[in-house]
Amino acid sequence: MTPSTGAATTAPAFELPGVDGATHTLEELAEAPALVLVQSCNHCPYVQAWEGRLKAIQRDYADRGVQLVAINSNDATSHPEDSFEEMRARARSQDFNFRYLLDEEQSVARALGSERTPEVFVYDAGRRLVYHGAIDDSRDESRVETHYLRDALDAVLAGREPAIRETQPVGCTVKWKAA
Amino acid sequence: MRVELLFWDGCPSYPEARSLLDEVLTTRRIEADVELVEVRTQQEAEELRFPGSPTIRVDGRDVDETGAGSRPALNCRIYRLPDGRVSPVPSREQLEAALP
């Protein structure tokens, strides 16, 4: 059974510019046994509170081929802190060890069914959604009891379904462009 | 004493800020009606000089003056805890320091 909300049940195709100057696609990640797409941004305090944990997860699972990709879809006109230049600066200052991509058209956010930042979508090797929601159960790292994302990755890598398939992401809203 | 809590409903942090504020007021035995002000539009954010949600003012003075002058916007406000961590709500210490 897949998670039940409007989250994309298969990984959406994308072709997006990254802060590293390259264009990145879903296809280039085909070898990853698990893919984590993170709806993210610069300006949100919830994203910033979890950033260090995202880096730790990418570091801890890299040798098992897991790829974490952060995607910023926010409207940079209303939120200039989320512009591509600011993304580059943030990735440099925080020494990101994962791809950080700009979804200027907001098409990936719409395809994912994203609502919050941060909000994670975990896809298995067949790019089927196996977990959607929060990274863990507390913004305060010292109070975390359940590591949803790590638990989901451990399950996928072991060929099992995660025990928890869906949680409520806690964070800022995605900043959609005015219609 | 006038205590205002300005918030934007798109950010989930204001109930936590309200609880923390109530807790600090109770601990300090300060009787004050907290005025809740919902900011709904960018125009209101600019008129109220609202740098993000939540914003708490005591007698008109922001409990975190370093962030008070940020660009008015409908977003979640960033606070720094005493240990340097980022938080979407002010620290207890900031609230205590702002109260008489």
Q: What residues pair up with A34 in beta bridges, in sequence order?
A: A124
Residue A41 near chain B (CB below 8 Å): no
Size of interface A-B (CB pairs under 8 A): 38
Name chain A contacts of B76, Cβ cutoff 8 Å. Answer: 43-46, 171-172
Q: Which residues of A82-103 are buried (b: 16+ CB within 10 A; e: fewer)?
A: bbbebbbebbeeeebebbbbbb
> CB-CB: which of B10, B42, B76 is closest to A45?
B76
Check CB contact under 8 Å for A45 and B85: no
User: Which residues have a Cβ under 8 Å from the Cβ of B94 and sit 6 or more positions away?
Assistant: B63, B64, B79
Indicate the burial class of A53 (C-beta count within 10 angstroms; 0-12, 13-18, 19 or more): middle
Distance separating alpha carbons of residues A61 and A58, to the nearest angstrom: 5
The residue with greater pLDDT, A124 or B1, is A124
- Chain B nearest C-alpha distance from A74 (Å): 12
pLDDT tens string A159-168: 999 999 999 9
CA distances from A57 to A52, A67, A68, B50 (A): 9, 10, 8, 35
Chain B contact probe: residue of A44, A74, A94 with most B CBs at under 10 A: A44
Facing A172 at nearest CB: one of B11, B42, B85? B11
Q: CB contact, 8 Å: A53 with chain B?
A: no
Tell me the pLDDT of chain A (179 aa) as tens digits. Answer: 455 568 889 999 999 999 999 999 999 999 999 999 999 999 999 999 999 999 999 999 999 999 999 999 999 999 999 999 999 999 999 999 999 999 999 999 999 999 999 999 999 999 999 999 999 999 999 999 999 999 999 999 999 999 999 999 999 999 999 87
CA-wise closest residue to B12 among A171, A103, A64, A49? A171
Q: Is A90 on the interface with B (CB under 8 A)?
A: no
Structure tokens at A153: 């990755």
| Chain B contact present for A78, CB below 8 A | yes
Q: Which residue in chain A has the smallest CA separation from B86?
A: A49
Instruction: Supply angle C-alpha B81, A41, B82, rounded to 5.
Output: 5
pLDDT (mean) for B87-95? 96
Element (H, E) at A129: strand A129-133
